[in-house]
Amino acid sequence: MSTLNLDLGSRSYPIYIESGAFNRAELLTKHIRGKRVCIVTNTVVAPLYLEAIKTKLADYELDEVILPDGEAQKNLVNFEVIMSHLLANAHGRDTTLIALGGGVIGDITGFAAACYQRGVDFIQVPTTVLSQVDSSVGGKTAVNHPLGKNMIGAFYQPKAVIIDIDSLHTLPVREFNAGMAEVIKYGILGDLDFFVWLESHIDAIKSGDKQILAKMIEKCCQCKADIVANDETEAGVRALLNLGHTFGHAIEAEQGYGSWLHGEAVATGMVLAAKLAVAMNLLEVSDLCRIESLIKAFDLPLQAPENMGCDDFIRHMRRDKKNIGGKLRFIVPTAIGHSEIRDDISQEILQQIL
């Protein structure tokens, strides 16, 4: 087992990474302060892992909320479903919520925890690549709105993140590959050595080698933890973690949440960000080719949807949370292993690459 720590003073918390973590009850129980627990999960994950988690918590007063699966379910309607359940079952301020699932479940559960009675404890138990390497760490919680992704939410940290590598073996290939977009992101934005490591371990990753997956997940979590520890509320360097997301969120919003998986949209977004950098003479074409090659190795899309034009992208991107003073801000790679925040992108260059 590897244990990382996200250092945020009094709100610091551990990130456990282990094969078979779901079998260790103490990883959960030492972060539960009361006797009431509500597990939030979905219709896909519940049949796989809900009973195993409940068995480990037999000494607690348990109930659960099982939501439908999919990105389209990360909305205010299901946020209210969680709230109504907690109120109807008289959960108090000493309740602990457990987010059992992927990024959608983690985000909506965390937001519910942030809001219920002005804040109750929650624990992240991520079961997808995307949630294990990215969304479960760092305290970003939110729901989507038809006009924008993650526009309604809060920064609210969990008490712990418990990652069982074995849960990745139940992921559909498309979901696994989509999560790899967030993995590749860490290499592009700030770690050339990690990018090279990914290039040389493609087959081992795709075959599900546990040691390789553990090393990959640990590296991503450590990168995320280091950045969040320095900039919890995205006032500066944390914005780099949005590499590919400005374009990607526009794709998701325009196509309808769930039509493109989040990781698929981010993959295309990273290619567009790299093309933007090339057009601005900030990135070598050879680096763009390496980025495209690694993304393609995991069967992720390189091209934006054919039915989206420049105006469609800009309409959605104008609502992006990173924008300041009405200026569009983009994360662009200037080399593999280094990225910058830029707000000097002309509409002419955007039209050129889109």
**Residues 6+ away with beta carbon under 8 Å from 315:** none
Partnered with residue 155 across adjacent β-strands are 140
Distance CA 268, CA 270 (A): 5
Q: What is the DSSP letter of 260?
A: B
Q: Which residues does the annotation mark as catalytic? A: 118, 140, 182, 224, 234, 238, 242, 245, 249, 262
| 141 close to 156: Cβ distance less than 8 angstroms | yes
Nearest alpha carbon to residue 96 among 125, 132, 133, 76:
125
Q: Which pair of structure tokens corresponds to residue 160?
A: 């712990």
DSSP-H helix ranges across 116-162: 129-130
Distance of alpha carbon 344 from alpha carbon 328, whole angstroms: 8
How far apart CA 199 and CA 180 sit, in angstroms, is 12
